[in-house]
Structure 1
Amino acid sequence: GIVCVWATSWGVSTRLIGAMVMTHADDAGLVLPPPIAPVQVVVIPILGKTEEDEAQVRQAVGEAVDAMKARGIRVSVDDRTNIRPGAKFFEWERKGTPLRMEVGPRDVNNGVAVIKTRLGVKTTIQLGEDLAGVMSDQLEEFHQNLMSIAKARLEEKTYRVDAYDAMKAALLNAESTGLFLVPWKADDKNEATIKEETKATIRCYPISGQDEAEGKACFYSGEPATHMAIFARAF
C-alpha cells in the first residue's frame, strides 16, 4: 500500500532565517555561519601604486583563490578600482562574510596575507601551499566561536525559577526578559491564566533535561510536575 509522508507546514524556513539573523547579527550588519554563507571568504587586493606591484598582487591573489576553490571554499575577489578598500571592508562586513583576506604589495613581499574575521579577530597567515588548509581551519574556528557565543547568550538569558511569583517579578524588569525554565504540570486553564497575567506562554518542552521534573512541584499549582517547560513572551 501507499505510505503517506509526515507533512508539516509551520514556516520553518523563514523562521530559521530570522532566528539566524537575530542570533548572530550585530550593529554592523549580518554575521553568517560559514556553512550557509554564500561567500565564505572575500579577498580584497590592495593593488599598490605601480604596475609591478599590481601584477604581483594579482598573481598572489589568483593563486590563493585557486587553492581555496580547489578546497571547496566559496571565495570572491573584490578588485573594484572605483571603491576604496575601507568602503569594501564596510560593505562585506555588513553582508556578514565570515572571513576577509587582504593582500597588498608589502604582504606579497613578506609572503603573507592579513585575515580578519567578521567577529573582528585579525591574524596573519603564510601565502603558499598550506593556505587553503589554514583558511579551512579558520572557517571552522569561526563557526565554533559563533556557536559558543550563541550558547553563552542563551544560557545567560535562561532563568531557572521554581515559583510563579519569581517569574512575574522578573518579567516586570526589562533587563530580565528572556526564557524561564520551570517545573510544570500540564494544565490548559493554568497556562491561560499565566498568559493573561504575564503575556508569557509555553514556548516548548526542551528535549533534554525532562528528567529534572521528577520529584519537583509545578511552579504555578504546586502539584507534581509533569514536564520542564520554557515560558517566555512572544514578540
Structure 2
Amino acid sequence: MINNKRNKNYSEWYNEIIHKSGLAEFSGIRGFMVIKPYGYSLWEIIKCELDKILKESGHQNIYFPLLISKSIFSKEKKHTNFFSDGCAVVTHSRIKKNNDQLIIDFKSKLKEELVIRPTSESIIWNTYKKWIQSYKDLPILLNQWGNAIRWEMRTKLFIRTSEFLWQEGHTAHSSKNEAIIEVKNILNIYTNFLKDFMAIPVIKGIKPYMDQFHGSENTYCIEALMQDGKSLQIGTTHFLGQNFSKAFHVKFTNHNGKKDYVWSTSWGMSTRLIGGLIMSHSDDKGLIIPPKIAPVQIVIIPIYNNEEKNNSFIEIIVKKLISTLNTNNLRIKYDNRKIFSPGWKFNEYEVKGVPIRIVIGKNEIKEKKIEIFRRDTCKKIYYSLDNNDNLIKFIMDLLNDIQKNIYKKALNRTKQSIVKIDCFKKFKDHINNFGGFILSHWDGTSDTGKIIQKKTEATIRCIPFDYGKEEGKCIYSGKYSPQRVIFSKSY
C-alpha cells in the first residue's frame, strides 16, 4: 500500500513507490543509488529493446575507458568549462594502512590527474584521430552502454543522481548535412521508442542557444510532461559540428582530395527513463508499467485451502496455463508462496505494476474460470477455462490493449496540458496553479529567459518542431518573436 498521495505530496509519493516496489534506494554516498534487482531487470529490458533498434539502424556498440586524462578532457574549452564543476578526479593510485586507518599513499600521486567521465566526447575524439584519414573511413556510427558521474547538488532517485547508467552515441561524418540527418534520425528513434515501448508521449524540439550542450552547435531534445505538470527532459541529441574534430585535429581527405574537419554528433538516454516512467503512469496504488517493458508481465496467484484435492487441481490448471502462455515467451511469475496471504500478494504486485494478475482458487475451479485483473484500470475479467484454446490470443490482445491504454491516457493528459498564453499575468497564474506546457512568445534573449525563470520558475524547454511559425510579441518584454516556444517548470 502506498501511503502518500500524488495530489498531496508528489515527491514523497514518488520516493515511496520506488522503495516499496523494490526499484532502488540511495547508497551510503550522497547522490549514488543502488538499483535493486526489480529496477535493474526493468533497465535491462529497456536497454535490450533500445539496443536492438540502434543496431538495426546501423550503429555498433563499443566501450571506452571510464577514466580520461585531464589534458585530453581539457581540449574542447566550452565542453570542459561546463562539466568541470561536476567532475570527479582521481589523483592517487593507492591507499595504505596507518595505525589501523586507511589513508592516501601520497607517494602514489599520478603524474597526470584523471577525470571520471561525465560524458565521453573527449576520449572518443582523441581515439577517432587515429581511426580517420579518408572519407572511406566515414561514417563511424558507435554507441556505448556504460555509466557516468556528475556531482549533483540536489538529488532524486533516477531523475538526478551523481552516477547514472546510460547509452551515449558518438558518430563521425563527412558532411554537415549527414550529421544533421543523424541527430534528427536518432531523435525520431527516441521518440518512437518512448511511444511504442514506454508509452510516454513527448514534444520534440531544439534547445534555445543558452541551454544547448556545451561543445555543440545545436541540441535537439524530447520533453515529457509528468503528472504533476512538470517537464522532464528525457533524451537529447547534439549536432557537434566540427568543434571536437578541430579541438582534436581530426581531419580527413574528402571526395575532392582536400583536407577537411570531420562533422560529428552525440546523443544519449539514461536511467532517468525509469523516473519518467514512474511519474508518467503510476497511481496511488503504485507502479503502472507498460507490458512491453514489464519485468513480469503476468503473475499467477493460487488461492489454496485445506482441501488437498482442490489444491492439486489448481496446480494442474496452473501448469497448463503456463505451458500455453509460454508459447509466446511471456514473462510469467507463479507465486505459490504459502507464507503470504493472497491479499498481501495482490497488494505487492499492484505496487510493482505487473500488468496482468491471474487468480485461481476453489471458486474458479468450481465455475471453470480464471479471474484476470488488469493493473492499468484495476478491473477484473473472468475467462472461461472451456475456451482454453483461445487463451493465448485473449491474453496477447489484453496486453496490447493495456499498452495502448497507458499511452492514450498519458497522451490525453499531455494534450490537455498544452495551452497558448499571451499575457504574462495569466502566464504566472497558470504555471503556478496548473503547470503543464505553455506555448508563449519569447524575444530570443537569455536575459528575458532568466527574468521569466526568476519570476515563475518556468524555463524554455524547447523551440518545438510541430507547432509551426507564428509571429508575435514576447510574453514578457513585448519585443518581436518569430514563433512560440514551450515553457514549463521542470525537473
- Asked if TM exceeds 0.5, the reply is yes
Moved more, 79-88 or 121-130: 121-130
C-alpha displacement of 1:223? 4.3
Which residue of structure 2 lines up, in the alignment, with residue 151 of structure 1? Answer: 411
RMSD: 1.9
Give the one of 451, 456, 473 matched to 1:193: 451
Cα distance between partner residues in 2 of 1:216 and 1:69: 58
Which residue of structure 1 lines up, in the alignment, with residue 233 of structure 2? Answer: none
Could you list the per-position Cα deviations for residues 48-85 of structure 1 after superposition, in whole angstroms to 9, with x for gaps in the alignment?
Answer: 33121111111111111111111222111111111110
- Contact 1:186–1:227 (CA<8 Å) still a contact in 2? no
Could you list the per-position Cα deviations for residues 124-162 of structure 1 after superposition, in whole angstroms to 9, with x for gaps in the alignment?
Answer: 112211111111111111111111221222233333212
Point out where structure 2 has 5 or more consecutive residues left out of the alignment: 1-133, 141-170, 172-264
1:228 aligns with 2:451: no
Which residue of structure 1 lines up, in the alignment, with residue 203 of structure 2? Answer: none
Cα distance between partner residues in 2 of 1:163 and 1:8: 36
Which residue of structure 1 lines up, in the alignment, with residue 266 of structure 2? Answer: 7
Cα distance between partner residues in 2 of 1:38 and 1:234: 29
Give the one of 67, 78, 89 matched to 2:324: 67
Cα distance between partner residues in 2 of 1:203 and 1:98: 32
Q: Which amino acid aligns with 1:83?
A: F
Find the residue that maps to 1:48 and give its secondary structure: coil
1:202 aligns with 2:460: yes
Point out where structure 1 has 5 or more consecutive residues left out of the alignment: none
Structure 2 matches for 1:25-104, cutoff 5 A? 25-104=282-361
Which residue of structure 2 lines up, in the alignment, with residue 160 of structure 1? Answer: 420
C-alpha displacement of 1:110? 2.5
Structure with more relative contact order (C-alpha pairs < 8 Å, separation 6 or more): 1
Cα distance between partner residues in 2 of 1:140 and 1:216: 43
Q: Which amino acid aligns with 1:182?
A: S
1:170 aligns with 2:436: no
C-alpha displacement of 1:181? 1.7
- Contact 1:185–1:227 (CA<8 Å) still a contact in 2? no
Q: Which amino acid aligns with 1:67?
A: T
Cα distance between partner residues in 2 of 1:124 and 1:216: 57
Cα distance between partner residues in 1 of 2:272 and 2:302: 37
For normalisation by structure 2, the TM-score amounts to 0.44
Which residue of structure 2 lines up, in the alignment, with residue 137 of structure 1? Answer: 397
> Size of the alignment, in residue pairs?
229
- Contact 1:40–1:98 (CA<8 Å) still a contact in 2? yes
- Judged with a 3 Å threshold, the aligned counterparts in structure 2 of structure 1 residues 19 and 84 are, in CA distance, closer, same or farther, namely same
